[in-house]
Amino acid sequence: MLNKTKRILKQLLDIVEIYIPTVTFLTLFVVFILQVYHRYILREPLMWGIELTEIAFVWTIMLGASYARRKRDHVAFSLIYDALPQKGQLYMRLIANATIVISFGIALNPVFQQIALMTNDTSSVLRIPFTIIYLPFLLLIISFIGYSLYDIVTDIKKLLDKDNRDFSENVFHDQFDEEELEVPEMLKE
C-alpha cells in the first residue's frame, strides 16, 4: 500500500513539475516563433501571443523551480557548506530548511488570499482568470515547504540515530528511484 502511495505521489509530482512545465515551455516557444513571424513577415502582431507567452513563462519558471528543488539542481553557493564536516553541513541544512519553511509559511496565507481575491479579474486579451495565471506561485510555495519539511525530518532522524553517523545530504527523489518498477511480460521480449 505504501509503495502504491509513493508511486502515485511521484506521478502527481512528475505531472506538476515535469510535464506541465514542458507543455508550457513548448507553448511559449511556438507562440514566440508565431509572434516573430506575424510581426516581421506579415506585419500584423498577435495581441494574444504576448499574453500567452507571459503566462506560459510564469508557469514554466514556477513549476520548474519546484522540480529543481526536488532534484537539488538549483543554484547553490556552497563554498562554506562544502568546507564543513558532514555534521556541520547537516546543521546548516537544518537552519536553511527551517528558514525556508518559516518564510514561505508566513507568505503562504497572504499569497493564497491575494490569488483568491483575483477570482473575478481576467487577463486583458485571453480573459484567463488571474487565479489560474498565478496558481503556480502558490504551488511553488507549497512544494518548497513540503520538500524542506521532508529534509528537516530526515536530518533530525539522522541526528537522533546513535548508530548512524552518515550525515550526508538527503535526496528526496532517490526515495522514488530506489524502487524498481515491474516490466510487463510483453515488453521483456
Please state the pTM of the whole predicted model.
0.82
State pLDDT tens for residues 86-118: 999 999 999 999 999 999 999 999 999 999 999
Helices 47-71, 130-160: crossing angle, 10 deg rounding: 10
37-90 confidence digits (pLDDT tens): 999 999 999 999 999 999 999 999 999 999 999 998 888 888 998 999 999 999
Other beta carbons less than 10 A from residue 71's beta carbon: 12
Q: Are 51 and 59 in contact (CB under 8 A)?
A: no
- Which phi and psi (to 5°) does residue 129 adopt? -60, 140
